[in-house]
Structure 1
């Protein structure tokens, strides 16, 4: 998995590419930890290039949402088609996450 991050005004953007599973979740968690330690607690995570996510990866997303909310921030997931939106739906997590279809939409949501 490759993870890139950058600041965009009052929020941070992370882009993940590759499977999000037991072996790669620590990489994403480390990048999230670094961002949340230095940036505003507003975060967009682009998962459009993540074809697979297991329970460990999902756990990273849930724990990140909890941390962001504890810091009175917001988190938006950017998802395309495929596994991630389906996974959020079948686990009923779609009711808890803010989800958009593009980074531009996430920027607009976080700027509002």
Structure 2
């Protein structure tokens, strides 16, 4: 499951391409258009392009999430405010345990949201 003190830049975000030299200062203002319809994770001077959102997690008619799976674990990356930046990560493991972490937009740090088990 998730390391609740995680900092995205502590290692590589597997399966995604890192783009060096792109940091928080490159984020669009909330009124600007999303970054090419792709979801992005930022850490310091590095950005990971996760690719285009393909799922509509909140049923508003706009794709806002994508999934990745590895070793039986499913991870859902979600942009809850339509700015192109991933701000919620949900991890589900094969045993039914799940963890949700949220990005604090003020600090750029990830924080635990919900831990649980699917019954």
- TM-score w.r.t. length of structure 1: 0.28
Flag the structure with higher helix content.
Answer: 1
As a proportion of its length, which structure holds more strand?
Answer: 2
Highest Rg: 1 or 2?
2
Give the TM-score, by structure 2 length.
0.27
Q: Kindly indicate whether structure 1 or structure 2 has the higher relative contact order, using CA contacts under 8 Å at least 6 residues apart.
A: 1
